[in-house]
Structure 1
Amino acid sequence: RITIRYPGGDYGDAWAHELRNWLVALGIPSAQVLLEPGSGGRDRILLLLEATDV
């Protein structure tokens, strides 16, 4: 699973959705990409990678 933590506001929301769309286009299932506001900075996106049971 990939969690995208992004800055709040319209800019951060658009940024996170664009990154999510790229990851899905590269073959990552959309159900495995989660969006969470709160990256800790307005110019920062954090990617958290977690192993899941498949």
Structure 2
Amino acid sequence: MPQHTPPARICRDCDGFAAAHITTGSRHRDGTRVTLRVACPACKGSDTAPAARLARVGR
């Protein structure tokens, strides 16, 4: 019998694709491409939504 797991909180900014590799157009000596890894600024590469922050409003 399968276990019930709570729904994952997927980051709404990156839809779960937290990291992307971007080519620079250059190549290494062995012929592979030079890439940069860029992480989602909202979830910082964790694929899950950041915790909600509470703000105190009013008196």
Scaled to the shorter chain, the TM-score interval is under 0.3
Structure with the higher helix share, 1 or 2: 1
Q: Greater relative contact order (Cα 8 A, min sep 6): structure 1 or 2?
A: 1
* TM-score (structure 1 length as normaliser): 0.22
Rg larger for = 2
